[in-house]
Amino acid sequence: MKQNLALFDLDNTLLAGDSDYNWSLFLISEGLLDAKTHQDRNEQFYEDYKNGCLNITEFLAFQLKPLSEHSKKFLDELHVKYMDKVIRPMMTKKAQALVDEHKAAGDLCVVITATNSFVTKPIATAYGIEHLLGSDPEMVNGEYTGGVTGVPTYKEGKVIRLNQWLEARGTKLSDYEVSHFYSDSHNDLPLMKLVTNPVAVDADEILTAYAKEQAWPAISLRD
C-alpha cells in the first residue's frame, strides 16, 4: 500500500485556540513577563498574523526572547503546567478523531506550524503525531539563545521547510498520490494550493471565501 501524506496546522485547527498567543498570556499569569510591556505587543502581533501582515522575524525575536532568560530544565517543567492548564482544554475530540483516522490509514502525519517548536512539539506528541515542523529556536550548549534556526514555517516558509524535510527522507511532495493539508488560515494558502486535498478547518474569512471558490471541503473540529 502506497503511503499518503497528512499535514495538520496546529493553532485554531487541531487546537481550539492559539498556542503561541496563549503562551505569552501564560507567562504573564506566571509572573514571568510584565503585562504592561508585553500584552499590547502580543495582541498586535496576533492581529497582524490574522491580517496576513505579520513580520515573522520581529515576532520570533519577541516570542523567543523569554526562552533565553530561563534554563531549558525550568522551561520544560513550565511547559508541563502550560499543557495541563491551557492546552489540553483546547484539544478537541474531533481533532483527535481526525488524527487517529489518518494514523489508522497508515498516512504519514505531520504537524506544520508557524509557532516555535518548543511550544508545539509536546502538543503534537499529545495528539500522537511524531513529526513536527515548526519555527526552530536556536540552542547553544543545550540552552535557548532567543534566536531562530533555519527558515520559519510561515506562509511560503511552510513549503520550503516541508520540501527540505521530505528531501531529507528521500521523497518529495509529488511522490504522494494523496496529500492532505488541514488549516484555518489564509496564511497557509501557499502550501494548501500544492496538496491534492486541501481542507479548510474553522477557517478565517479569507480562506473560507477562497475555499468556496475552489470547491475545497470545509469542516469544523470544534466539539
Of 17, 12, 54, nearest in space to 200 by CA: 12
Q: Which of 9, 18, 184, 204 is catalytic?
A: 9
What are the residues whose beta carbons fall under 8 Å from the beta carbon of 42, sequence distance 6 or more?
21, 24, 25, 62
Whether 84 sits among the annotated catalytic residues: the reply is no
Of 84, 81, 126, 93, nearest in space to 16 by CA: 93
What are the residues whose beta carbons fall under 8 Å from the beta carbon of 3, sequence distance 6 or more?
106, 107, 108, 176
Whether 184 sits among the annotated catalytic residues: the reply is no
Residue ranges of E strands in 9-161 = 108-116, 131-140, 143-149
Please give the distance of CA 154 from its chain centroid, rounded to a whole number. Answer: 9
Q: What is the Cα–Cα distance from 91 to 221, expressed in whole angstroms?
A: 10
Report the catalytic residues.
Answer: 9, 11
